[in-house]
Amino acid sequence: MNYFVDHQKKRIHLKRFVGDRCGFMDTPTQKREFTDKKSYIEQLEEQNSYINCPYCQSIQRLNK
Ligand SMILES: [Zn+2]
Distance 2 CA to ligand 1 centre (A): 12
Distance 1 CA to ligand 1 centre (A): 14
CB atoms within 10 A of CB 14: 18
Distance 29 CA to ligand 1 centre (A): 16
Distance 14 CA to ligand 1 centre (A): 6
Strands 3-6 and 32-35: antiparallel
Write the burial class of residue 44 (CB in 10 Å: 0-12 exposed, 13-18 middle, 19+ buried): buried
The per-residue pLDDT for range 12-50, each reduced to its tens digit, is 999 999 999 999 999 999 999 999 999 999 999 999 999
Total residues belonging to the chain: 64
Closest CA to 17 of 3, 6, 29, 28: 3
Model-wide pTM > 0.75: yes
